[in-house]
Amino acid sequence: MKAIIPTGGMGTRMRPLTFTANKHLIPVANKPLILYAIETVADTGIKEIALTYNPGGLDIIKNFLGDGSKWGVKFTYILQENPRGGLSNIFQVCEDFIGGDNFLMHLGDNIFTGGIQNLYDHFMKKKPHGLVGLVHHPENTRLGVPYFDEEGHLVKYVEKPENPPHDYAVPGLYFFDNIIFKCFKGKDKIVPSARGEMEIASAYQWLIDHKYQVDTLEIEGAWLDPGKVQDWLEANLFLLDLNTKTKINSNLDKTVRIHGRVTIGKNCNITNSHLKGPLNIGDNVTITNSTVGPFTSVYHNCMIIDSTITDSVLMESVIIDKVRKNIENSIIGPNTNISQSDHSEHYCELLVSELSKISL
């Protein structure tokens, strides 16, 4: 079995951060988003993974991820020429890579905290032609929704229905055998939807209409889809709370106070500061006379001086210098410098893109 992980897309809901950064490389809980998908797929035992990219997007993703050997897998990079081609178009352009095998597609911006082993095992054992992963979601009107007959068999898959009959939704995880590539050929081939995309729902519906077996199975653990700013902050909070363990890899000054679970990377210089967990601090970080956390991730090479930061994401090489207001619920892009002006407020909220400079 092989796997496909998309790394393209427009990232419109995360602008301005994604004007200059690939969304999949932005950290969540101090881990670049794409690594959650790669590690989840690798944990199933799959060894061959296609990473699709859009025009102009190869160098940054390939330079960052390499050949896959770090995770015990082999990457193949495949161009999806049309970023708006749709989810079915993503695996359509990978047909030669799949080469007759079964495959799964795990969207690169989805996180499954309980893994996907139960779906992988079901697909390999039961051998359906398609498998749809399910989650409960209170707002499934903005997602794909499965419809069942009285015996519980999948009969329809509808994108964003107005009045769904239940709270099930389909997240970004899809399984197929090689028969699915027939849906792109012949008189009854699937066609772009009204919004111009080759929908994943159309591919599954083609299987159902042609009497192929399509199973459904609920996904274990939580599903996170950090596609918007608030979703990103909530995912950061959730994963910090779930995964943070106390692990100190730097020598700390005696003036540092730690409460809760805190992870600190290598070569950090932290003095006269209060660290509140869950908190994840990367490598080569300087923190002086500050309060950081809880529910905050600070990526590599950041500097925080005389400031207070909570419930936030700091990307690489951010400088926060003598900011009197509390910084809360913020995502701060790489190489940003934030300093204090003469004005004063209780706190501020920031969404700052790359190479910005702000005086507050």
Q: Does residue 86 have a pLDDT over 60?
A: yes
**pLDDT value at position 144?**
78
pLDDT digits (tens, 9 = 90+) for 217-246: 999 999 998 777 788 889 999 999 999 999
Element (H, E) at 37: helix 33-43
**pLDDT value at position 355?**
59
Domains (range + CATH), the chain: 2-228 (3.90.550.10), 244-359 (2.160.10.10)
**pLDDT value at position 85?**
77
**pLDDT value at position 145?**
85
Element (H, E) at 3: strand 2-6
| Cα–Cα distance for residue pair 360/323, rounded to 1 Å | 7
pLDDT digits (tens, 9 = 90+) for 116-125: 999 999 999 9
pLDDT digits (tens, 9 = 90+) for 328-359: 988 888 888 888 766 555 666 666 666 566 66
Q: Does residue 259 have a pLDDT over 60?
A: yes
Which residue reads 């190479």 in tokens? 355
Q: Does residue 213 have a pLDDT over 70?
A: yes
pLDDT digits (tens, 9 = 90+) for 125-165: 999 999 999 998 888 887 778 888 888 888 888 888 888 88
Q: Does residue 256 have a pLDDT over 60?
A: yes
**pLDDT value at position 21?**
62
| Cα–Cα distance for residue pair 270/282, rounded to 1 Å | 12
SS3 category, 22: coil
**pLDDT value at position 338?**
86
CB atoms < 10 A from the CB of 211, how many? 8
Least confident range of 41-45, 268-272, 326-330: 326-330
Q: Does residue 200 have a pLDDT over 60?
A: yes
Distances 348 to 14, 63, 164 between C-alpha atoms, Å: 19, 35, 39
**274 close to 296: Cβ distance less than 8 angstroms:** no
**pLDDT value at position 357?**
61
Burial 94-130 (b: 16+ CB within 10 A, else e): beebbeeebbbbbbbbbbbbebbeebbebbeeeebbb
Question: Token digits for 9?
Answer: 């897309």
Angle of CA points 344, 230, 335, to nearest 5°: 60
pTM, two decimal places: 0.89
Confidence of residue 84 (pLDDT cuts 50, 70, 90): confident
Q: Does residue 179 have a pLDDT over 70?
A: yes
pLDDT digits (tens, 9 = 90+) for 279-328: 999 999 999 999 999 999 999 999 999 999 999 999 999 999 998 889 99
Element (H, E) at 53: strand 48-53
